């Protein structure tokens, strides 16, 4: 068999840190060639060097997930380098925390552009190559894609949109034997809450949660790796995440609304009163 058949190629978007970086490391350690993307070229190259030091074949491609043309160029660069794409992990994302009534609408537009359209763009351009390899498309979604979270209207909307897109795509591609995984990590230790947008669009800075008590990015990456290997359709992580999805399906909405509100109102500096 030729080199293309024996060494799969995986693209991980938003891989400079957190879950993306952990996924790049986990899939790379499994012998795959890894292309990583991110907006900050300097941070991206530093991550690539870390991966190469671990013996991982890595290509760093600067790309703003929110920009259609950059996604197209990114996919072309990977194909030029390695001639194939086996797995696409749509991880690039941003969060927000503010009451909708106080929110600048540009915040929701930015969150939707990165989280939802970023997934759409990368998937669109990578899809022909993934179909050719009967590979995998992964979307790193959230529990917020199953249950709307107060003070995170834009984030929830983007993840609901991602879930619907991936479910429809999975069904479309059924006979082409392309695997589509919707992965919902739950609260995970990463910098997504530090960079989450406040009501005026500026990063909120300090995380409202105790990051040390959350599932690690490495644990999430391991679970995603196993789910891709088994070609699972969905992955919901953390006991809190699984319980939330279960209760949201079976409890009356009035009860669930109160439970969710009271839980998130306990966060540090919560806008919920």
Q: Give catalytic residue positions.
A: 155
The count of other CB atoms within 10 Å of the CB of residue 165 is 20
For 82, the token pair is 């390695």
DSSP E strands in 56-202: the ranges are: 58-62, 87-90, 136-140, 179-184
Give yes or no for a contact between 22 and 217, defined as CB atoms under 8 angstroms apart: yes
- Tally the C-alpha atoms within 13 A of residue 169's C-alpha that lie toward its C-beta: 23
Q: How far is CA 34 from the centre of its chain?
A: 16
Measure the CA–CA gap between 61 and 77, rounded to whole angstroms: 8
Measure the CA–CA gap between 249 and 256, rounded to whole angstroms: 9
């Amino acid at each position: 068999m030729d080199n293309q058949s024996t060494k799969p190629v995986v693209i991980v978007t938003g891989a400079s840190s957190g879950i993306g970086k952990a996924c790049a490391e986990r899939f790379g350690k499994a012998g795959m060639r890894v292309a990583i993307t991110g907006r900050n070229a300097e941070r991206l190259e530093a991550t690539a060097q870390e991966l190469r030091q671990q013996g991982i074949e890595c290509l760093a491609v600067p790309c703003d997930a929110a920009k259609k043309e950059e996604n197209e160029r990114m996919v072309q660069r990977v194909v030029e380098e390695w001639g194939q794409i086996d797995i696409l992990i749509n991880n690039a994302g941003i969060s927000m925390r503010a009451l909708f009534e106080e929110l600048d609408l540009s915040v929701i537009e930015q969150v939707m552009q990165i989280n939802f359209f970023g997934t759409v763009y990368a998937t669109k351009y990578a899809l022909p190559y993934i179909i050719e390899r009967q590979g995998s498309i992964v979307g790193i979604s959230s529990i917020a894609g199953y249950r709307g979270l107060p003070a995170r209207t834009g984030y929830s909307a983007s993840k609901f949109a991602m879930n619907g897109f991936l479910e429809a795509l999975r069904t479309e591609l059924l006979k082409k034997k392309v695997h589509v995984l919707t992965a919902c990590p739950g609260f995970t230790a990463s910098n997504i809450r530090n960079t989450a947008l406040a009501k005026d669009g500026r990063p909120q800075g300090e995380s409202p949660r105790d990051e040390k008590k959350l599932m690690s990015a490495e644990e999430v990456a391991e679970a995603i790796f196993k789910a891709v290997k088994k070609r699972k359709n969905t992955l919901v992580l953390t006991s809190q995440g699984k319980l939330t999805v279960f209760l949201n399906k079976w409890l009356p909405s009035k009860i669930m609304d109160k439970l969710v509100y009271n839980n998130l109102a306990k966060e540090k500096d919560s806008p919920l009163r």
